[in-house]
Amino acid sequence: MNSPITLKEFQQEHGELITNHMVKNVERLSMPPVLKEAMVYSLQAGGKRIRPILLLAAIETFNQDPMLGLNTAAALEMIHTYSLIHDDLPSMDDDDLRRGKPTNHKMFGEAAAILAGDGLLTYSFQLIAEDPALTSDKKVKLIALLARCAGPEGMVGGQVADIEGEMKQLTANELENIHVHKTGKLLTFSVIAGGIISGASDNELELLERFAFHIGLAFQIQDDILDIEGSEEMIGKPVGSDESKHKSTYPSLLTMKGAKEKLQFHLDEALMSIDELPVDSSLLTEIAQLIVSRNH
Amino acid sequence: MNSPITLKEFQQEHGELITNHMVKNVERLSMPPVLKEAMVYSLQAGGKRIRPILLLAAIETFNQDPMLGLNTAAALEMIHTYSLIHDDLPSMDDDDLRRGKPTNHKMFGEAAAILAGDGLLTYSFQLIAEDPALTSDKKVKLIALLARCAGPEGMVGGQVADIEGEMKQLTANELENIHVHKTGKLLTFSVIAGGIISGASDNELELLERFAFHIGLAFQIQDDILDIEGSEEMIGKPVGSDESKHKSTYPSLLTMKGAKEKLQFHLDEALMSIDELPVDSSLLTEIAQLIVSRNH
């Protein structure tokens, strides 16, 4: 028996493919050049591609061809990209830089940035609906789930809750609720979509959903931890400086020790869920472990 | 034989139904209250509901139950509504009022307005994907077409072209190209969607598309004419004042006489197209005639 593919091999093989697939599909559309430039700019601005990689890895886990999920993975990453463009706008986080490059509205102006986001969001549903590799039944399931995870009951609702919660002291439950919606729902979509495309059973989809819920929270807790420990190493920002900005984080609400315990809890729960799958889940296990051990 | 339903009866019966259906569906979603309030505010802000009425009228024309199209009609009007919210933003048209009421961002702030628009756009695809009355094949066709008509190749692209064209002298072809995308594509969707839901043949869908193309342009030309003739009656603004603002319009490019001739041309073409349909098209004829005779 061949040893299963490692995450590193899997990421190398698929990360660039996803970027190329997104760009190629936008390039072939007929639209005003400035809109295309703005859309492609943010699609090429880098990123870990964690969501589409998770989606393709879930398909690989079920011994199906990951390429069956390429359009859905690209659509998902386009929605993530649109959300970053809109989040960076002056009326939201007002960020000038993302990953060291000027944000979309800094490059193209606010109107074009809003419309590039609208264009990516709209086109993502078209990409799934026009996928020649999937049945209509699967496409409808994927579109309904993606809209639920990305829309008012998911990511968009989470972004509103995040803005509302910014200047007040949150409870740990309120903070978790924001993360579950703002970032967790799209991560959940990644994994469940892989299952839907692979023809997973309802029971298997439930296990995938539980896995995704817990790695979503682990991902966010690790983010909060890195905000503190990463900065301390690099620029000597003291632990707890986020607290003085009234921004609620897991370490500020639970102490650093409490946050690390919670991180371990969610990792354990995630791994237990996929251990129950009747397939080799080593690739998903590796992704989960990478999420908690990453240092950026 | 019963006489066919008149447009007035049809609008009375269905206009309020569409508003109620949109609001009811958003109300039942679980999301932060301010987001729901912002979404519902714009859905209830009035409007002629011309797109969903056209969609339902196309179904009626094929002797099918218009209620089969209620979710798609609501989704379409939600997309129209999101586009108005984003168009009104300070970085776009910077409008404080729409239909005599404060615009969304004036009521809820820019961030909430952007996110209310994102939420309506995303949810509209969910509403079609979850429609229990349609087959998966029809839902996939509707979603792909709606995304094409609303996205970068359609309305979003038209909005970018409109912003770019605002301060320069356009040719009549450039002006038409903007309107075909900015407003025409969603009107086209209205009519073709009604055909898809009714199970119309490819040839019938082509006739519907030609009808929609021409009434879309007629609608826009009449808008430009009303901007001048409506204002003259009401506030005595001289004909051609738009020209001095460098905004290209049909009367400014073609003279008022030329614009009215073009309007009549597109009405005639629209009516010829649906005359070829093997069904009683009197309801669609009435809508086309209403578009050119309306005075607001």
Contact A92 B114 (CB under 8 A): yes
Give the Cα separation of B25 and B45 in Å (integer): 16
> Most A CBs within 10 Å: which of B122, B141, B164, as the mutation test of the A interface?
B122
Mean pLDDT, chain B, whole residue set: 92
Lowest mean pLDDT among A196-210, A247-261, B96-110, B244-258: B244-258
Q: Is residue B138 part of a domain?
A: yes
Q: What pLDDT does residue A237 have?
A: 42
CATH number, domain containing residue A247? 1.10.600.10
Whole-angstrom CA distances from B268 to A188, B105, B181, B271 are 52, 40, 21, 5
pTM: 0.94
Q: What pLDDT does residue B238 have?
A: 47
Q: Is residue A194 part of a domain?
A: yes
Number of domains in chain B: 1
Helix axes B185-198, B155-165, angle to 10 degrees: 170
Chain A residues touching residue B35 (CB < 8 angstroms): 152, 156-157, 160
Give the Cα separation of A208 and A273 in Å (integer): 7
Q: Is residue B174 part of a domain?
A: yes
Q: One-letter amino acid identity for A71?
A: N
Asked whether the predicted pLDDT for residue B139 surpasses 60, the reply is yes
CB pairs under 8 A between A and B: 154
Nearest CA in chain A to B163: A111
Q: What pLDDT does residue B89 have?
A: 98
Contact A249, A227 (CB under 8 A): yes
Q: Is residue A2 part of a domain?
A: no
Q: Is residue A62 part of a domain?
A: yes
For residue B9, the distance in angstroms to the closest alpha carbon of chain A comes to 34
Give the Cα separation of B111 and B130 in Å (integer): 28
SS3 assignment, position A257: helix
B164 reaches A (C-beta below 8 A):
yes
Asked whether the predicted pLDDT for residue B142 surpasses 70, the reply is yes
Q: What pLDDT does residue A110 have?
A: 98
Q: Which residues 79-108 of chain A have a CB within 8 Å of chain B?
A: 86, 89, 91-92
Contact B143 A125 (CB under 8 A): yes
Lowest mean pLDDT among A83-87, A170-174, B70-74, B241-245: B241-245
Query: One digit per residue, pLDDT tens: chain A, 296 residues?
Result: 446 677 778 888 899 999 999 999 999 999 999 999 999 999 999 888 999 999 999 999 999 999 999 999 999 999 999 999 999 999 999 999 999 999 999 999 999 999 999 999 999 999 999 999 999 999 999 999 999 999 999 999 999 999 999 878 899 999 999 999 999 999 999 999 999 999 999 999 999 999 999 999 999 999 899 888 876 555 444 444 445 556 789 999 999 999 999 999 999 999 999 999 999 999 999 999 988 887 76
> Residue B18's domain spans which residues?
7-293
Residues B224-235: pLDDT tens digits? 998 888 765 554
Best CA proximity match to A41, nearest among A98, A89, A91, A126: A98
Residues B195-215: pLDDT tens digits? 999 999 999 999 999 999 999
A160 reaches B (C-beta below 8 A):
yes
Categorize the per-residue pLDDT at B241 as very low, low, confident or very high, splitting at 50, 70 and 90.
Answer: very low
Give the Cα separation of A90 and B228 in Å (integer): 36
Q: Is residue B2 part of a domain?
A: no
Residues B172-183: pLDDT tens digits? 999 999 999 999
Give the Cα separation of A18 and A49 in Å (integer): 8
B180-194 in b/e form (b: 16+ CB < 10 A) is bbbbbbbbbbbbbbb
Asked whether the predicted pLDDT for residue B282 surpasses 60, the reply is yes
Q: What pLDDT does residue A213 have?
A: 96
Q: Is residue A1 part of a domain?
A: no
Q: What pLDDT does residue B57 have?
A: 95
